Amino acid sequence: MDILVRVERSERGERKKRKKRKKKKKASNQSNNLREEMGIIRSGFSFFFGTAFGVYLAQNYNVPNIRKLANTGMLFAKHIEETYRKPKKREEDD
SS3 74: helix
Given a cut of 90, whether residue 23 has pLDDT beyond it is no
Q: Is the pLDDT of residue 51 over 90?
A: yes
Provide the pLDDT for residue 86.
Answer: 80
Whether the full predicted model's pTM is greater than 0.85, yes or no, is: no
